[in-house]
A and B are shown apart, each in its own frame.
Chain A
Amino acid sequence: MSLFTRKVEQVPCTVEVSHRFEALHAHVRFNDGSTIEPGDEVLVQGPPVLAGWGEVITEDRTAVITRANALERLWTRLTGDFEVMELCEFSFSEEITL
């Protein structure tokens, strides 16, 4: 891994988006077993995967993984923890006055 430059990889992936009453979720799985490390960026190619109400869409796509360089990885490891608060139901909105 380089200190400053980023490596770009193209990997096949499966996207699943469920927009049903029973479950609302959206996941990306890399078909070749690629794993994501801190600071990496993932962009699924193609038009937005938009499931209508009641639909589950599973599609094969290509994802572009931009690997973080060593500095970014370190930075994400050091600072990522503080974003954990967004898992709380009451803490995502940035506005104080609605």
Chain B
Amino acid sequence: MNVHATTHDELAAEMGDSFDTNAMAQESTLLNPRFYTTDFDEMDRIDVSPVREEWDILIAQMKSDPNKGHFKKTADWDEVDWDGMDPKLKRELVDFLVSSCTAEFSGCVLYKEMKRRGNNKDICELFNYMARDEARHAGFINDALREAGVAVNLGFLTKAKKYTYFRPKFIYYATYISEKIGYARYITIYRHLEQNPEKRFHPIFKWFKEWCNDEFSHGEAFALLMRTDPKLTQSFTNKLWIKFFLTAVFATMYVRDHARPEFHKALGVDIDWYDQEVFRKTGEIAKQVFPMELDIDHPAWMPTLKKIERAFRKMEAAEKQGGVGGKLAKWSAMASAGMGFARLYVMPVKKSTPPASVRLEPAY
């Protein structure tokens, strides 16, 4: 997903009277989500009977909407001193909020599409609740952005949109990991700030605890979906895919987090420590359905991640440099990142056997 900055004046001109002047927006960000299709017939064929009991409990919990009242600004939402904030930190905080908002928004678009196109009552109901949660999260983050003077522009619908395609099983793997890793990220920050309240430089972190429970239960739903068909987690090829997605998501997160040094410094968090902690929690949780865990304590794990991160920096520098020299440097950096990823991918995993009952409760 790409976010393109449009100028403030452009947006104001387009929107006329309805332009959000109260937000005092100094900049605007055009959300530009991708649109998705998948094999809807295959999704219609999903039969949740093998996990019916656990499925009904989870759906009932989502239906009861335990977080309905949570995403409201209360007295706990203290004033943020945006003007007094170090500009670098502000930039990274805004980037964090925009990327979180965009991810929630994309999730909402994807889930809504699945709900709309599907004919399977169980599946449609699930995606309906998940779309509701994601839209709510996006709205909450958007409000925090308004305070920071950033207006989110939803005008993307009138720009040409190409629909991309994900195989259903890839949606399960990727969204399962993304929901569970989202839970691990939020709860790790929340627990850290419980211990170090003076580092809480924005009130949104106070909302992370209940927030991440939504992520957790979305992950649970995908875990149950994967349990309806043993092949999804047990066949030789699918095990390779699972390993691929785990490795790719972990490596991406490592590179991305290192792009926000000021943000993590302000939280008082060492990025390497934080990422390992998040990988550990995610890996532990994912054993509920995946028959393996990546060996993040392998002696080559961290050095290889660092190598990939350096390669990405070089790639970017080379792109800025431009010309033939830049091209060559970029290719060389890409090769280096690719080799790093391949190294991570061939690292032996820790095999495990998922428990008979798949369901977990948030425990961190």
Contacts and interface: CB of A to CB of B under 8 A. Distances in A.
Nearest to B141: A24
Interface string A7-34: 0000000010111111111111100000
B160 interface: yes
A90 B253 contact: yes
A40 B260 contact: no
A33 B14 CA distance: 31
B106 interface: yes
Nearest to B112: A27
User: In this complex, which of A36, A40, A46, A88 has the most chain B Cβ atoms within 10 angstroms of its Cβ?
Assistant: A88
A26 B171 contact: no
Main secondary structure of the interface of B (DSSP, over half): helix
B283 interface: no
Main secondary structure of the interface of A (DSSP, over half): loop
Contact of A76 (B165, B175, B249): B165
A43 B22 contact: no
Contact of B256 (A46, A77, A87, A90): A90
Contacts of B11: 50
B34 interface: yes
B236 interface: no
Contacts of B281: none
B18 A52 contact: yes
Interface residues of B, number: 84
A67 to B, nearest CB: 11
Interface in A53-98: 53, 55, 66, 76-77, 80-81, 83-98
A75 to B, nearest CB: 10
A90 B303 CA distance: 21
Nearest to A52: B18
B313 interface: yes
Interface in B296-338: 312-313, 315-316
B35 interface: yes
B146 interface: yes
Contact of A53 (B138, B146, B185): B146
22 contacts: A22-B136, A26-B31, A43-B159, A49-B154, A49-B157, A50-B11, A50-B15, A50-B154, A50-B155, A51-B154, A52-B15, A52-B19, A53-B146, A86-B1, A88-B103, A88-B249, A89-B100, A89-B104, A89-B178, A89-B182, A93-B99, A96-B313
